[in-house]
Amino acid sequence: MTDPSAYVPGLANVPAAESSVCYLDGSIGKLQYRGYPIEVLSDNSTFEEVCYLLLYGELPTPTQLADFDAELKKARNVKFRIIDLLKTLPESGHPMDALSAAVAAMSMFYPGDHVDDADYRNQCVIRLIAKFPTIVAAWQRIRNGDDPIKSRSDLGHAANFLYILSGEEPDPLVARTLDVALILHAEHQMNASTFSARVTGSALADPYAVASAAIGTLSGPLHGGANEEVLRMLQTIPSKNPGAVRAWAEDRLARKQKISGFGHREYKVKDPRATILQKLSQQVFEKYGSTPLYDVAVELETQMEDLVGQKGIYPNVDFYSGILYDKMAIPTDLFTPIFAIARISGWLAHLLEQLGGNRIFRPSQIWTGETDRSWIPPSDRR
């Protein structure tokens, strides 16, 4: 048991909430949403169904899912003034900053009482899940000098995002692949951005402020963005030759440099999400052709298992997701916004749970400074 008076850097393993949203046992690679294994959900569910499960605690009936899906589709469009706001931002800005700005502005367009008005709170949830993809796709097009594309009600959440991003209806395999990737990224217990969401929500800030705070946390390179770094890292490995890959890894480890996509604070085995993403990648590559980066990645995983597997360092979810998105022709700096498109469902599930028995977060600290110091006149200071 952790000594309550002891300082724990990063609050590692310090419980911050009681939750029934996500169960994780990293020692055996078990990840479950509301008690359902991630492997089962990725095989059988859609992202929309998983959103419903996370938010409301149970799998929806066909009627409930149809109604929920209809609500999401109806809420996809973004206010033209928010589009105008995006147009004022510098094209060189990162998409996460554009997403954060647009989401923060949403509270001004949709005021209400999310604390006592359950209907309004639910409308906020629907709007945020529905509009995240629209904002990300709109920014991508605006910064390239193109007009945003209107959503199609005949396409699901993932397929519609790919359509409004490129203007082309995606192949069903590609759409389903992104759909599963969204499921895998939808929730992951008390990670940094979810903690930010719960802290902000505990102050009774509105859901748009909660989402914006979580986006800001996710934008940090120690949280989101790791799959971008994996892609850049793999491009520096000279070849897929086992000897060359091993030499590269040994050199990196000897210099105590991080090898992106490996290791996770929670997992001591291969991240179950990485296993699923690798299988998805193989399906896409079988149809559209592989990429040299995938071959390098597979060899790197083999060499790393031999070098550091005994330390519990294995691929995490970021290791294969960037390779997959790259093959789908998604710009690298949109990888983390896609993470946010998925994770907004988890953030909101935790917000609803927080509001159900709220107490504002107010942790303690360990004082390390001086006390009772005497004031010194300016003329006597040295």
| Residues forming the active site | 264, 318
Tens of pLDDT along 282-341? 999 999 998 889 999 999 999 999 999 999 999 999 899 999 999 999 999 999 999 999
Asked if the model's pLDDT at residue 2 lies above 60, the reply is: no
Please give the pLDDT value at position 44. 98
Q: Give domain limits for the chain.
A: 17-220+343-356, 226-327
Please give the pLDDT value at position 204. 98
Tens of pLDDT along 39-58? 999 999 999 999 999 999 99
Under CATH, domain 226-327 is a member of which superfamily? Cytochrome P450-Terp, domain 2 (1.10.230.10)
State what percent of residues in the chain have pLDDT above 70: 99
Tens of pLDDT along 177-187? 999 999 999 99
Asked if 193 and 209 count as a contact pair (C-beta separation under 8 A), the reply is no
Please give the pLDDT value at position 11. 87
Residues facing 22 on adjacent strands: 33
Tens of pLDDT along 222-279? 888 888 889 999 999 988 999 999 999 999 999 999 898 898 888 999 999 999 999 9
Confidence of residue 88 (pLDDT cuts 50, 70, 90): very high
Please give the pLDDT value at position 226. 84
Please give the pLDDT value at position 5. 67
- Choose the weakest-confidence range: 70-74, 121-125, 191-195, 227-231: 227-231
Please give the pLDDT value at position 1. 46
**Per the confidence metrics, is the pTM higher than 0.85?**
yes
Average pLDDT over residues 351-373: 95
Q: Which fold has domain 17-220+343-356?
A: Citrate Synthase; domain 1 (1.10.580)
Asked if the model's pLDDT at residue 112 lies above 90, the reply is: yes
Residue type, 103: V
